[in-house]
Chain A
Amino acid sequence: MKDIAIQVTGLQKSYKALQVLKSVDLEATRGSIFALLGSNGAGKTTVVRILTTLLKADGGTAAVNGYDVASQPDGVRQSISLTGQFAAVDEILTGRENVIMIAELRHLRNPRQVAVDLLGRFGLTDAADRRVSTYSGGMRRRLDLAMSLVGKPPLIFLDEPTTGLDPEARLEVWKTVKELAQNGTTVFLTTQYLDEAEQLADRIAILHEGRIIANGTLADLKKLLPPAKVEYVEKQPSLEEIFLAIIGHKEVL
């Protein structure tokens, strides 16, 4: 079972009378990108909060990197990183100070060098010594991701990583996620965007009304529908394609 990063069985959670998770089962393999797809309020964030030890489940079991989330939370926290729905960055510190702070909390040898490397990797070198309150939304998200990668945790949770980002920043996040997986990091991401799951994920699970109603690779999920018919349709560029073509993929800093 060495290659299983996340194993969830019969997970339940209620908020007062509202049963958000009825019985959730899922499994993510190491080094893969796993997408949890669901509409707003489906309970995706609740699953992430339980798996990252922020919330206790009412029932069922969940193991992350072989550690039980309820009985071995320290083991879980050692081996994961969470990037929440909103960039959790310290606005008053500079980008560099933010990364150094996380490196110090993870007790790394050389926090300054870690910061130089990660800020460089996320294109924040020029902005490193500016306060985060002056950053754009995309820059904040990049800093947020840089902070999550401090200490190279083998598993990263991304809770709706592209919600509220402009198309360019969204593509940047996608690129980063793909790079992470290429380097062997397991990525567990939640999203409400179908194209995001389609673009990134090795496996997709659909959370609906408290249960996983479909689970598999994109090809598996496609098989659930009747075979595709061939139709000829004129290809119209999407507004996103037009937007990106006009601005020429330039980075807006």
Chain B
Amino acid sequence: MHATQHHLFSDLGVMLGRSMRHVFRSLDTIITVTLTPIAMLLLFVYVFGGAIETGTDSYVNYLLPGILLIAIASGIAYTSYRLYMDKQRGLFERFHSMPITRSAVLWGHVLTSLVSNALSVIVIILVALVIGFRSPAGIGAWLGVAGILTLFTLALTWIAAIAGLSASSVDGAGAFAYPLIFLPFISSAFVPTESMPTLVRLFAENQPVTAIVEALRALLSAQPVGDDIWIALAWCVGIMAVAYVFAMRAYQKQV
């Protein structure tokens, strides 16, 4: 047992290196997880933004948190896809019949999801800076933003793991992400919820994305975060815990 245990980090490193190559060698992945959110950012700021009343001076400041969440929701669809392909191609069986730390196979994918989403988030923030995004936030607030985005990525990654491990077709492995990508549109990510009809507004104000967006926005504009941050954290941790249990169950079935 101990002989394979202390190789956990080097095994994880090999797995991470492998899946990061998958990310960088797939033009489709790069376009979907980085270029599309950037195009959306530009579209909303320069085309629709003029007509949207948010009560703030800078629409790009208002919009950025929602765009980051959409980028992450698109990114985890590829985690699901990569897991599905590994299952389908027999790579799980190869790895699991080798003397390596078994959990490294799944955690390698989770780590790749965190690293690749962090990269696309950084690229999107850099583009936002170029088109006028400014933040008075200090280092503590930025760490808070990084922490919430990491938890959000982890929560969605475990949902992606359930889909990837239990899907019976490539389409199924990716399809679950569409509602997740759509959620920010029915939240305060693009427009304030006040303008929405009552029913839609009720949904928008009580779904996780609104709390997460509000918490991120408050942190980035150096405003008091209020209850939103706790609601946001509760959503992220809650979704993560439930999804983790089901993902592990799906994973055990493969082993």
Contact A91 B89 (CB under 8 A): yes
Tell me if B95 is interfacial: C-beta within 8 Å of chain A.
yes
Question: How long is the Cα–Cα vector from A131 to B22 in the complex, in angstroms?
Answer: 11
Taking the complex as formed, is A52 at the interface, i.e. its CB lies under 8 A from any CB of chain B? yes
- Tell whether, in the assembled complex, residue A77 and residue B98 are in contact, meaning their CB atoms are under 8 Å apart: yes
Which residues of A have CB within 8 Å of B199? Answer: none
A147 touches B (CB below 8 Å): yes
Task: Give the residue name and chain of the B residue nearest to A55 (CB).
Answer: B255
Known contacts being A74-B4, A90-B91, A92-B26, is A80 close to B97, with CB within 8 Å?
yes
B18 touches A101 (CB 8 A): yes
Interface residues of A in 232-248 (CB under 8 A from B): none
Q: Which of B7, B25, B97 contacts A53 (CB 8 A)?
A: B97
The answer to whether A92 and B97 touch (CB under 8 A), given A74-B3, A101-B18, A104-B10, is: no
Asked if A105 contacts B91 (CB within 8 A), the reply is no
The distance in angstroms between the C-alpha atoms of A75 and B99, with both chains bound, is 8
Please tell me if B201 contacts chain A, counting CB pairs below 8 Å.
no
> Cα distance A22–B95 when bound, in Å?
29
B14 in contact with A104 (CB, 8 Å): yes
Question: In the complex, how many angstroms separate the beta carbon of B40 from the nearest chain A beta carbon?
Answer: 27
CA distance A21 to B21 in the complex (A): 41
* Contact A54–B89 (Cβ < 8 Å): no
Contact across chains for B21 and A84 when beta carbons are under 8 A apart: no
Contact with A along B69-103 (1 / 0, CB 8 A): 00000000000000001000111011111111000
Determine if A192 is an interface residue (Cβ-Cβ < 8 Å): no
| A84 in contact with B22 (CB, 8 Å) | no
Q: Is the CB of A147 within 8 A of B10?
A: no
| A-chain residues with CB within 8 Å of residue B90 when the two chains form the complex | 84-88
- Count of CB-CB pairs between chains A and B under 8 Å: 66
Considering the chains assembled together, what is the distance between the CA atoms of A80 and B10 in angstroms? 21
B85 surroundings in chain A (CB, below 8 A): 91
A14 CB-CB contact with B under 8 Å: no
Indicate if the CB atoms of A106 and B99 lie closer than 8 Å: yes
Interface residue from A81, A85, A89 paired with B97 (Cβ < 8 Å): A81
At the interface, yes or no: A82 with Cβ under 8 Å from chain B? yes
Question: Which residue from chain B places its CB closest to the CB of A77 in the assembled complex?
Answer: B99
Q: Judge whether A212 is part of the interface by a CB distance below 8 angstroms.
A: no
Tell whether, in the assembled complex, residue A84 and residue B98 are in contact, meaning their CB atoms are under 8 Å apart: no
Known contacts A54-B255, A88-B91, A147-B94; A105/B14 CB under 8 A? yes
Cα distance A203–B95 in the bound complex, in angstroms: 29
Given contacts A89-B89, A90-B18, A91-B89, contact A82 B10 (CB under 8 A): no
Chain A residues within 8 Å of B7, by CB: 107
Is the pair B21, A93 in contact by a Cβ cutoff of 8 Å? yes
- Among A40-88, those with CB < 8 Å from B are 49, 52-54, 74, 77-78, 80-82, 84-88
Indicate the member of A89, A93, A105 with the most B CB atoms within 10 Å. A105
Q: Do B97 and A78 touch (CB < 8 A)?
A: no
Give chain B residues whose Cβ lies under 8 Å from the Cβ of A160. Answer: none
Beta-carbon contact of B1 and A105 below 8 Å: no
Question: Which residue of B25, B93, B94 contacts A92 across the interface (Cβ within 8 Å)?
Answer: B25
Among B7, B11, B91, B93, the one with the most A-chain Cβ atoms within 10 Å of its Cβ is B93
CB contact between B96 and one of A54, A86, A97, A147 (< 8 Å): that residue: A54
Complex CA distance for A101 and B95, rounded to whole angstroms: 11
User: Chain A's nearest CB lies how many Å from the CB of B82?
Assistant: 9
- Please, how many angstroms separate the alpha-carbon atoms of A117 and B3 in the complex? 27
Closest chain B residue, CB of each to CB of A111: B14
Binary CB contact string for chain A from 151 to 169 against chain B (1 if under 8 A, 0 otherwise): 0000001000000000000
Contacts of A102 in B (CB 8 A): 98
A114 to B11, CA, bound (A): 18
Q: Are B98 and A97 in contact (CB under 8 A)?
A: no
The answer to whether B93 touches A78 (Cβ under 8 A) is no
In the assembled complex, 28 residue pairs joining A and B whose CB atoms fall closer than 8 Å, in A order, are A52-B93, A74-B1, A74-B3, A74-B99, A77-B97, A77-B98, A78-B3, A78-B99, A81-B98, A82-B94, A84-B90, A84-B93, A86-B90, A88-B91, A88-B93, A90-B18, A90-B89, A91-B89, A92-B21, A93-B21, A102-B98, A104-B10, A105-B14, A105-B98, A106-B98, A107-B10, A147-B94, A157-B97
**Which residues does A use to contact B, with CB under 8 Å?**
49, 52-54, 74, 77-78, 80-82, 84-93, 97, 101-102, 104-107, 131, 147, 157
B contact residues vs A (CB 8 Å cutoff)? 1, 3-4, 7, 10-11, 14, 18, 21-22, 25-26, 85, 89-91, 93-100, 255
- What are the nearest 3 A-B pairs in CB distance? A88-B90, A88-B94, A82-B97
Q: A80-B97, A101-B18 are in contact. List 6 more A-B contacts (CB 8 A).
A: A52-B97, A54-B93, A86-B90, A87-B90, A89-B89, A106-B98
